Structure 1
């Protein structure tokens, strides 16, 4: 059995479908044929019995049979060519066979009718030549006081021949049906799997050429159409991902080139000073070393941002836990004040608890505050507020962002033309948007009344922390 299952599973899908269709039709046809034959075998004897019960022997035929008995003509001399075999049975068991009838053996049932014990009898018997017959015997009286039994018999070969012909016909029809079902199953399998063949060719083409622009025509709303749509969506997503990856690499190379070039220039100046023995003035050397340090810091920050953005969007950001957003904002404010000591940074924070990864969330908030510090004028102010409804706003009084540039501020490596001279890689706000979206929140930038920019962050949460989970039950 396992061998048959393994052999069936090793067949191509088209062959399996055709075989299953042919088998199903064969079983159905066989069941119908057998049922039809059984019903016919049950119905034909019933019809024969009804026909015998409705057939009455003509009085002349009965009288001729009695005359044969009285004249001494042996019943074996009849040829049995009539429609039914008719014979008269006397109470002593004597049978008188009618002309053109074949003598039928007398049974006990016939004698019971002849002796008056039974009125009629319906049973099987055989002729003297061995032919099986169905016999109907009933009492009749040709003259008063002389009752007799008259038997009417018909051969059972009529039923057997009809059943045999029906069996041959049903077998032939079943065979034709199975062959037709196999052909139809093969055609259905080919027609049904034609879209799958197209999908297979498309997948093989993508695997061979890495061409993600291939699309499969979609027709209808069936499962094959859904599979085709899913394949088209998958290739489109892969193509978009590859384009974003290529763009990330190109942008990263471009952004890395600037600090690396500056760093290389400074290092070459230091190396040339050592090679030629011409000392660099102390003030210039100090400025040169400060520039090297700043370029290395910028390079390290850029590499960290690239590592953060290199993770897939669907990757697990880390274990989420309930954290106090106001505490994380306070921690980010301390770092922001160190980076902008000449600025006035005020905060009005209300309690708000969210579910997030603490380190990633703090880094995102630091990026928002750094952005506000970087674009604030000297001696300016940065206003931070966390409302009772959980909306965090960071407002600076800088030059603001032009309206036509607002849709691009969260894209990777995008930098306003007016900000290209300032330090930064253009990845900070992209990291902010990614982190906030992973927590289920929203972030947006908008113009502030009176000038400047407002960064608004909204993360789902509550003003009070949720109750701790109950301790696990103690085990003995």
Structure 2
């Protein structure tokens, strides 16, 4: 059985479907044919039994047969179309000389003994022919040639009247079932080929994509059946893969472009220093100091860019690090200290109300530092930055040139930088990292023009003004509890 299953699994799917359809139809046809044969047999046997029950034997014949059996005459009774014989209470059988005697059964004897009204059974005669026998009481009384005693009369009909039509019917049903099974197999193969043609197209599409890496392949997806759903899923998958590949290519191209600038500048400065050492012509101390400061700044920028690229190398859907309950106001205060060091000439004010959130502490601090760095970078000398935290809404407002309305939809895209910021240090990745970190913490971020000039960055994070109970990481009103 297991070997048969293995061989079936080795067949193509359409062949298996055709075989299954043929087997199912053959089983159904066989069940119907068998039911038809058994019902027909029951009906024929019932009709024969009813015919035997209703059979009448002429009294003159019975009188002649009785007299013949008693030895009163040597004249044979007339021939009847069906075998008729007499059975007495002792089970003795008497039939006409030209008729075949059938053995009397116990049931026949009981009928003759008046213990039961009739008997129906099947017996074989001397030639081995099956006969259906009906035995009933024979009331013997005054009559022509009839004496007294308990007798029964048995009337028989050959079973071939049933078996011959049943044999013919069996062959007809077998032939019909065979034709039906073959036809079902052919129909199943045709249906399998037609029904699986979309699956073949899908398989060819997958093979084409695997062979050529062509993600522009699209399959027709008409209707609402499983094949259409599978085609739509394939189209959606290839579209997503194409988009992902395009984004990857764009990321590599943008990263290469951003890396080229500091590397080129760094290479130029190092070549100047190397040429000075090779030629023995010393660079003036002030110029050398400025050159070294430029090299240090470029290396710092390059390290920051590589760090940002490493941060963005994680998939957008990747799970963040372990989430902890952290004090957003404390993290913001720490980020403000770093911002004041980077913009000592700026006036940075803060108004921070307590607020606790569930987030990855390091990633959240880096995100807030990036927002404050942008505010410091675009603020004019002697300008002011206002930072406020109220019920989970952190706002950072600067008084810089602001962001044009046409640039606002692009500020969170990777490597995007406004034309006015291209001369300033930065990689164009900071706000993209901020947006992902805030979204992973369940919040959102938005930039909008501020009244009177400048830009306001708003970060909203779910949380509570009070920390959770000791030993619990569940925030008040947070159903996740972890």
Q: Specify the SS of the correspondent of 1:342.
A: coil
- Counterpart check, 1:357 vs 2:355: no
Q: Which residue of 1 aligns with 2:480?
A: none
Q: 1:151 offset after TM fit, Å?
A: 2.6
CA distance in 2, matches of 1:354, 1:59: 114
Judge which range, 50-59 or 278-287, deviates more: 50-59
Tell me: CA distance 1:444–1:193, structure 2 relative to 1, closer, same or farther (3 Å): same
8 Å contact kept, 1:17–1:186:
yes
- Counterpart check, 1:396 vs 2:395: no
8 Å contact kept, 2:76–2:97:
no
Counterpart of 1:234 (choices 233, 237, 244) is: 237
- Counterpart check, 1:292 vs 2:264: no
- Counterpart check, 1:329 vs 2:332: yes
CA distance in 2, matches of 1:42, 1:110: 23
Flag structure 2 segments of 5+ consecutive residues without an equivalent: 474-482
8 Å contact kept, 1:65–1:98:
no
Listed as ranges, the matches of 1:140-219 within 5 Å are 140-141=138-139, 144=142, 146=146, 149-219=152-222
Q: 1:293 offset after TM fit, Å?
A: 1.1
Q: 1:319 offset after TM fit, Å?
A: 1.8
Q: Which residue of 2 aligns with 1:474?
A: none
CA distance in 1, matches of 2:387, 2:453: 16
Q: Specify the SS of the correspondent of 2:206.
A: helix
Flag structure 1 segments of 5+ consecutive residues without an equivalent: 472-476
Counterpart of 2:310 (choices 307, 312, 333) is: 307
Q: Which residue of 2 aligns with 1:5?
A: 5
8 Å contact kept, 1:440–1:459:
yes
Q: Specify the SS of the correspondent of 2:153.
A: strand
Counterpart of 1:259 (choices 234, 257, 262) is: 262
- Counterpart check, 1:366 vs 2:364: no
Q: Which residue of 1 aligns with 2:28?
A: 28
Q: 1:87 offset after TM fit, Å?
A: 3.8
CA distance in 2, matches of 1:377, 1:316: 39
Counterpart of 1:125 (choices 120, 123, 126) is: 123
Q: Specify the SS of the correspondent of 2:406.
A: helix
8 Å contact kept, 2:398–2:455:
yes
Tell me: CA distance 1:152–1:332, structure 2 relative to 1, closer, same or farther (3 Å): same
Tell me: CA distance 1:42–1:322, structure 2 relative to 1, closer, same or farther (3 Å): farther
8 Å contact kept, 1:113–1:121:
yes
Q: Specify the SS of the correspondent of 1:125.
A: strand
- Counterpart check, 1:442 vs 2:444: yes
Q: Provide, for residues 130-170 of structure 1, a one-character-per-residue CA deviation record: whole Å limited to 9, x for no partner.
A: 32212222234586374654332111222222332233233
Counterpart of 1:413 (choices 391, 401, 415) is: 415
> May I ask how many residue pairs the two structures share in their alignment?
465
CA distance in 2, matches of 1:197, 1:469: 58
8 Å contact kept, 1:380–1:397:
yes
CA distance in 1, matches of 2:287, 2:128: 135
Q: Specify the SS of the correspondent of 1:400.
A: coil
Q: 1:285 offset after TM fit, Å?
A: 1.5
TM-score, normalised to structure 1's length? 0.89
CA distance in 1, matches of 2:33, 2:48: 22
Q: 1:103 offset after TM fit, Å?
A: 4.5
CA distance in 1, matches of 2:240, 2:41: 67
TM-score, normalised to structure 2's length? 0.88
CA distance in 1, matches of 2:93, 2:264: 134
Q: 1:467 offset after TM fit, Å?
A: 3.3
Judge which range, 295-304 or 7-16, deviates more: 7-16
8 Å contact kept, 2:93–2:101:
no
CA distance in 2, matches of 1:263, 1:202: 48
